[in-house]
Amino acid sequence: MLIKLAGPVGLEQPGRPPRHLSSAQAQVAFARLVVERAHGTGRDELADTVWPDGLPDTWASALRSVVSRVRAFVTEQDAAEDALVAQGGRYLLRLPADVTVDIEQAEAAVGRAAEAYAAQAFADAGRFAADAVACLERPFLPESAGGWVTETRERLLELLVTGLETAGLAACATGDDRAALRFADSAVRRAPLRESAHRTLMAAHVAAGNRAQALGAYHDLRRVLADELGVDPAPETQAVYLDLLGGPAAPVLPAPRRGRRATAAPFVGRGAELARLAECWEHAGRGDTHVVLIAGEPGIGKTRLATAAARRVGGAGGTVLHGRGDAAAREPYQPLLDAVRGFLAAAGDDAGGEALRAGRAALAAPAEDTLAAALAAAARDRPVLLLLDDLHAAGEAALRLVRDAVARRDGARLLVVATAPAPGPWPDPFAATVRDLDREGWLTRITLTGLGETDAVALARDVVPDGAFGRVPPAHRLVADTAGNPHLLLEVLRAVAAGPGDRGEPAPRVPRGVGEHLTARLAGLDHAPRQLLTAAAVAGPVFELDVTADAAELEPDRAMDCLETLVAAGLVREAPGEGGYRFTHDLLRRALYERATEDRRRFLHTRLADAIEQRRAGRIGPYSEALARHWAAGATPHGDQRAVRWGWRAAVRLAEEGALDEAVRLHRQALDHVPAADAEMRGEAQTNLGLAQLHAGHPGSAQTLFDGALQALHSGRLGVAAQAAIGLAGAVRDEPALRSEAAAVVSTLLDRVTGGDPGDPGDLGVVDDLTLGRLLARHVALGGVVAERTRATAAAMQAVVRELSQLEGPDHAERRAVLADDAAALAAELGDGRAQLLAAHHRAMAAETVGDCPARERALAALGAAVRAAGDDPVGDALILEHRVATAVAHGRFADAEETARRAGDGGAGGAGIFPAPGTMAGRQMHVAAWLRAMTWTDPGRRRPDIAQAVEQSLATLLAGERGLPHLTVRALATGAQPLPPGDEWLHVGGLLGLGAVELGDRTTAEALRELFAPYADLNCGVGYRSYVGPMAFHLGRLSVVVGDWSAAERHLTAALAMLGERGAQPWIALALRSLADALQGRDRAGDRASAAALRAEAATTLTSLGIR
């Protein structure tokens, strides 16, 4: 199997036509999974790769849809197991051993080509390199963006240029002059600043006998380097040039470029700013004298930008003068005197001319008039760029002279380029000068911001040698930590390049240069702002002023003044949408945190935790993770119960939000803080950790739960031991090494709870009936036997069934499925037919809700078996008939559905605790069929004065053309003015609401429903297996079309089509295709109209064949 990632993404297998992925999202996900298949890709990293501009609200379900498409693409139809699996919070792509990947082949070929060239096997080198180039010239994921894609493209470009160079040199050696020039030209076009490519081009020209063109290529390179970087060619390039000058003998061919050396700080980016400065210089050359003020925070590159512009001016024949403001200078005109001194030194003592005479006169008698005359004379002779660094630090006299020189406008061609800190607390004279220049229209402002990800990668490639490049953090992380500040970026990259110290010790987490930068930034701050800033650094990436002020022991008014000082200094900024403030550069926050002593950090963490508990007592939930972090970091060395309990609380909250790996981390952290003498808490902590590991799919959960169960048993915590035993019995299904130990633990615990001897009541009061029922079920699953049906076992069975009825609805499907399996095992052991029917019902309901079709079919088979075993069972018969109606409607077999619905009877009084009552959903499913066919349905059952009936009636009224009352009903439910029915009916009514809202076409109602439905994007609408109203993704996609959110519409409808295709629900597939066509038509990008027309034609054919409008 050959996987192609360069060019069209696809698979090629012998004897089969090539297959390709059409979705850009699936392509980029597949590409990363292939590249990282050795160790897997984290769920969060994969989501960031698929949606680099920000995750959608329902990204978890959308990611599952993308992964499903990739899994279906790469897994063979007859494969025994999936090629793409989720394990421990990561996705692993398991490919056959003989699989090859085109870009990996190309990388290996580039290496072999260099080795062959070094061994003077030039023909082999050329063949290997040409093969690599043919692959790497194809674009990599051209429709995708983001940090990982950009970094991979950069790496592949590096390989491509190296391959082109090797191919060119090999062609020179074998006498293929045309190929050599073609490869070398391509290398130079792709990497115009790469000297090794230019040397290859020079060698190709020499090999072709074009010595003059080789010299021209050198001069082209020299000009490019001077214009872009202000530097000369490297010594090795100059050596090639000198060889060319020496005579016609061909120089020795250079070796292919094998790696980069670490270089001095390069100048990258700032293309727009350089263009603006060039435009200002052009205007100055025409007599438009003015000032360009380059402002920005320390380290942002103000002087580098001004110097780069000055080098360009000097290279083009202009005069460059340079001075620097100094608040401690003794001479009032210090920066101007420095500029004139430099001008005279460059000219030499014997040079003449008006400008030089005026300059000497100014130095002999420094005064405003003599210095002004010197500047004017120089600027009349030729255009002058006067670069004044740190102009804000200059004295009033120097500032006045600059203002007057610009105001004279007496034929001088002068451009003043000044640098200063970002606007803020400027000295009064400088601020007044800026206002005057601005008011007169003589000022151009350039405010520098941080470098972007592309420039950060370029900087890394120029600074970090090849051998260390793998240690460079991702571009988005670099920019997030430094805010793109070039100085901070360079410090980070230099630390990466330096690697471990001389003795192998790891490099500090924050480079030393960053600490020095922080010291300079803090130098002008008073004690109180520093105090607040240190507390903020401990608080974390985002801090709230009132809580942080309490920790810093500052009164509110004083804290507000300090905050304003820090904002003005550019150290912190507001964090819109995050409820507080954050450091402008997170790297400085970490540096300040590391600078504090360990005791100081522990003290501040504790103060912050106390402040949160006091100030946020009424809404403490969202702060549980922060409290867990602060109590853990502030914990006493020998254990801290507060750290343990807040760790548990935060872990539970994160698990509910789907952050399972983070929940495991917090439980592990909590275990570390259990006091050594507290055996009871240790058993509970081990149990919590093991259950979190089990839930997250982490290996080792069985061992953790085994240890927790033993600890809890021996410390008398039978309730905790029971939870550990239940989890352990589940864990050994995947980790069978401890299966016998799990059986022994469960058996021992049951003996303790129920009494090991006849007449012994045991400790029944310690473990509730539900937990006992689950223990008994796990005992049976592990091969145990429930000896007899006692009052305790009967109560346990009833408790499990009762708990199942409390888990109805969209929020507990996973727990409902697990408990239903327990109920089925226990009911079968006890011979309880009614409980077996209910267990199968609940298992099928849970499976259908989450779209697990195989599990649903197994549960329905168990339901059928229970019905047959019971003989005449109206409840079971009614449930099965309802499922048949739902299935017929989903497949478009409306006549079969109508006939079956007419036969559906009453499920009996009470329906065995099942709601809605068995038998009632068949008629309600026909309302959905009526909507699909734009027809009406008369329900033979009794009318129900409830919410569901109102929604069904509204849908029918909408089809008849009436909007008023239906809109009232739909709007009230969408906005929460009237609650949706609880339990299993929620998703059914939700699906009907989605249909009605789209019929209404009201954007605000559609948006309200999108917000309501977003948490359930990956579920099915309906009363479990008893009715079907399409996937929630279908409704979210159609609602997104109504509000004009085309990308969300495409994402949801694509996911819906995958779910519907698995079910074979042709009517819903056709409607989803039609809605997707509407989304593409609305987006109207290149090719969208043609795609929309094709989708509509496909949908129309299906709908016509089914007799649907």
Per residue in 484-503, pLDDT tens? 999 999 888 888 887 764 43
Residue ending a domain, among 422, 447, 472, is: 447
CATH of the domain at 176: 1.25.40.10
Q: What is the pLDDT of residue 581?
A: 95
Pick the last residue of a domain from 98, 113, 133: 98
Instruction: Give the C-alpha separation, 97 to 86, whole Å.
Output: 20
- Cβ pair 485, 297 in contact under 8 A: yes
Domain span including residue 58: 2-98
CATH number at residue 976: 1.25.40
Does the residue 591 lie in any domain? Answer: no
Lowest-confidence region among 101-105, 266-270, 623-627, 1046-1050: 266-270
Q: Count other Cβ atoms within 10 Å, centred on residue 526.
A: 10
Q: Residue 943: helix, strand or coil by DSSP?
A: coil
Residue 263, pLDDT score: 43
pLDDT at 646 over 70: yes
Same-domain status, 202 and 66: no
pLDDT in the model for residue 934: 65
What is the rounded CA–CA span in Å between residue 302 and residue 283? Answer: 21
pLDDT reported for residue 242: 61
Q: At 1041, which amino acid appears?
A: V
Which region among 766-770, 788-792, 875-879 has the lowest average model confidence (pLDDT)? 788-792
Helices and strands in the chain: count of H runs, count of E runs = 49, 15
Q: Is the domain of 230 the same as that of 278?
A: no
Identify whether residues 319 and 230 lie together within a single domain.
no
- Give a yes or no: residue 1030 inside a domain: yes
Of the listed ranges 961-965, 967-971, 1023-1027, 1063-1067, the least confidently predicted one is 961-965
User: What pLDDT band is residue 248 in, cutting at 50, 70 and 90?
Assistant: very low
The percent of the chain in helix, strand and coil, each rounded to the nearest 5, is 65, 5, 30
Identify any residues that bridge with 420 across adjacent strands, giving them in sequence order.
295
Tokens of 340: 């004139």
- Please give the Cα distance from 591 to 582 (Å, whole number): 14
Collapse the DSSP code of 126 into the 3-class scheme (helix H, G, I; strand E, B; otherwise coil) and give the result: helix
State the chain's mean pLDDT as an integer. Answer: 86
Does 68 lie in the same domain as 115? no
pTM equals 0.67
80 and 122 inside one domain = no
Q: Is residue 566 part of a domain?
A: no
- Tell whether 94 and 125 lie within a shared domain: no
Give yes or no for residue 461 having a pLDDT over 60: yes
Residue 1069 is assigned to a structural domain of this protein = yes
Mean pLDDT of all residues in 455-478: 82
Query: What's the pLDDT score for residue 409?
Result: 66
Is the confidence at residue 1097, as pLDDT, over 60?
Answer: yes
Q: Examine the pLDDT at 212 and tell me if it is beyond 80.
A: no
**pLDDT one-digit tens code per residue, 856-886:** 999 999 999 999 988 878 899 999 999 999 9
pLDDT value at position 651?
95
Q: E strands of 488-571, at which residues?
A: 542-543
In angstroms, rounded to a whole number, what is the distance separating the alpha carbons of residues 721 and 749? 8
Which of 181, 649, 193 lies closest to 459 in space, CA to CA?
193
Q: What percent of the chain has pLDDT over 70?
A: 91
In terms of pLDDT, which residue wins out, 549 or 333? 549
d(CA 880, CA 922): 10
Residues 75 and 109 in one domain: no
**pLDDT (tens digit, 9 = 90+) per residue, 977-1018?**
989 999 999 999 999 999 999 999 999 999 999 999 999 999
- Tell me the mean pLDDT in the region 651-656: 92
Highest mean pLDDT among 170-179, 204-213, 528-537: 528-537
Model pLDDT, residue 261 = 42
Of 105-119, 309-323, 529-543, 735-749, where does mean pLDDT reach its minimum? 309-323
The helix/strand/coil state of 414 is strand
Omega within 30 of 0 (cis) for the link into 916: yes
CA distances (Å), 283 to each of 302, 307, 309, 383, 445, in order?
A: 21, 19, 14, 10, 15
Q: What is the CATH number of the domain that holds 48?
A: 1.10.10.10
Pair (1014, 1083) in one structural domain: yes
Between CA 1062 and CA 368 the distance in angstroms is 85
| 891/973 same-domain check | yes
8 A C-beta contact, residue 73 and residue 64: no
- What's the whole-number mean pLDDT along residues 9-37? 86
Burial environment of residue 39 by CB neighbours within 10 A (0 to 12, 13 to 18, 19 or more): exposed
Alpha helices for 147-301 (secondary structure H) = 147-174, 177-190, 195-207, 211-228, 235-246, 271-285
Is residue 1044 located within the same domain as residue 1057? yes
Closest to 918 (Cα-Cα) out of 1000, 1063, 1024:
1024
In this predicted model, what pLDDT tens digit does every residue of 367-410 receive, in sequence order?
Answer: 888 888 888 888 887 888 999 989 998 889 899 988 888 887 67
Structure tokens at 569: 């200094």
Q: Is residue 726 part of a domain?
A: no
How confident is residue 816, by pLDDT bands cut at 50, 70 and 90? Answer: very high
Within-domain flag for 648: no
3-state secondary structure (DSSP) of residue 544: coil
d(CA 298, CA 390): 11
Question: Which of these ranges, 20-34, 58-72, 191-205, has the smallest mean pLDDT?
Answer: 58-72
| Confidence at 154, pLDDT banded by 50, 70, 90 | confident
Whether pLDDT at 1031 is above 80: yes
Query: Using H for helix, E for strand and C for coil, what is the string for 251-278?
Result: CCCCCCCCCCCCCCCCCCCCHHHHHHHH
Tell whether 111 and 173 lie within a shared domain.
yes
Cα–Cα distance between 744 and 733 in angstroms, integer? 15
Per-residue model confidence as pLDDT tens digits over 576-598: 877 899 999 999 999 999 999 99
Does 915 map to a domain? yes
Of 447, 479, 494, which marks where a domain is finished?
A: 447
Between 959 and 253, the higher pLDDT residue? 959
Q: Which DSSP string do the residues of 771-839 spell out, in sequence order?
A: HHHHHHHHHHHTT----S--HHHHHHHHHHHHHHHTT-STT-HHHHHHHHHHHHHHHHHHT-HHHHHHH
d(CA 437, CA 429): 12
Question: What is the spatial distance between Cα 566 and Cα 603, in angstroms, rounded to a whole number?
Answer: 23
499-551 pLDDT, tens per residue? 764 434 444 578 888 888 888 889 889 999 999 999 999 999 999 999 999 99
Residue 176's pLDDT is what? 87
Look-up of token digits 């709870």: 753
Would you say 921 and 903 are in contact if contact means Cβ atoms under 8 Å apart?
no
CATH number at residue 418: 3.40.50.300
Q: Are residues 16 and 125 in the same domain?
A: no
Assess if residue 8 is contained within a domain.
Answer: yes
Provide the number of structural domains found in the chain. 4
Q: Residue 641: its pLDDT value, please?
A: 94
